Homo-oligomer: A and B are copies of this chain.
């Protein structure tokens, strides 16, 4: 099995080229590949498959993308092997791989995803911009982070967020455990963003991702944070469409939030290419060692 590894602002992925849709990719295999110690390691897997042959894992989205003439489909899986819809950092890495390998030509590409077709553009400096779709404010909310209470905006970027503007350094907030959502309508939980605005239109952000914990970067979280920044500046939906620089632990993202088409820009890098070992892939696992379980062992400390 061929692979590449890449990352966008520290959100890293194992890319599995499967142009003809011949790869059987079980949840167990994905989890083994993403295991950071016993596997290759990554936040998720990006299967690179032609939309027309994306298979059952793509649901109806592969066929729909193919009908619109969209050649490539991003079959994104979480590190635990579960299916995910879209990933703003992942789709940039996915596009970087297609362009670098010559499977597709830039600078503008439409990519099929389980959240519909998304357009990605490459700038002259290599940064990639993806349309993340509409961002919507759904209300307000509050959460408890350790001993501290924070409050902010409830924002939907396809998935739910609580974006909290704070006055003190973002490093001061305890994200070592899941934030406890105390107010607001989050029936499915929410990612929580803590952001601090600087005078120059940039924001520092840290994020706790629902189901993943604290991460180096989160594309939808950066969009939600930019919405909160725009609201704090009195500029949300006033037609100004300012671009916010969002500094996450893994690097810098540029976000132009919008209620129709939010733009997320940032780097995407391919680190390595190679082949997974056949014997390793075939071997029966020992005791189940999913990344989550290992992380828990390490976290217990």
Contact = CB atoms under 8 A, between A and B. Distances in A.
Interface of A: 3, 5, 7, 10-12, 36-41, 43, 171, 174-177, 208, 213-214, 216, 249-251, 269-277, 279-280, 283, 286, 289, 294, 297-301
Contact of A37 (B3, B7, B289, B294): B7
Interface centre among A11, A41, A176 (most CB of B within 10 A): A41
A54 B280 CA distance: 30
A272 B275 contact: yes
A274 B272 contact: yes
Contacts of A271: 38-40, 276-277, 280
A273 B270 contact: no
Given A275-B273, A301-B214, A251 B10 contact: no
Contacts of A250: 37-38, 289
Given A272-B275, A273-B275, A276-B271, A300 B37 contact: no
Contact of A41 (B41, B174, B298): B41
Contact of A38 (B10, B37, B176, B283): B10
A274 B277 contact: no
B214 A298 contact: yes
Contacts of A176: 299-301
Contact of A7 (B38, B171, B214, B275): B38
A289 B217 CA distance: 14
Nearest to A250: B37
A272 B3 contact: yes
Given A216-B294, A269-B280, A272-B275, 8 more contacts: A3-B274, A10-B38, A37-B43, A37-B250, A171-B300, A176-B301, A269-B283, A270-B277
A33 to B, nearest CB: 9
A249 B5 CA distance: 26
Given A37-B216, A301-B175, A275 B274 contact: yes
A300 B269 CA distance: 26
Contacts of A5: 40
A276 B272 contact: yes
A297 to B, nearest CB: 5
Nearest to A280: B271
Contact of A216 (B43, B208, B249, B298): B298
18 contacts: A5-B40, A7-B37, A10-B294, A11-B37, A12-B38, A38-B269, A41-B41, A171-B300, A174-B300, A175-B300, A213-B301, A214-B301, A216-B294, A216-B297, A249-B294, A269-B283, A272-B274, A274-B274
A150 to B, nearest CB: 14
A38 to B, nearest CB: 5
Among A5, A38, A39, A297, residue most surrounded by chain B Cβ atoms (within 10 Å): A38
A102 to B, nearest CB: 15
Contacts of A38: 7, 10, 12, 250, 269, 271
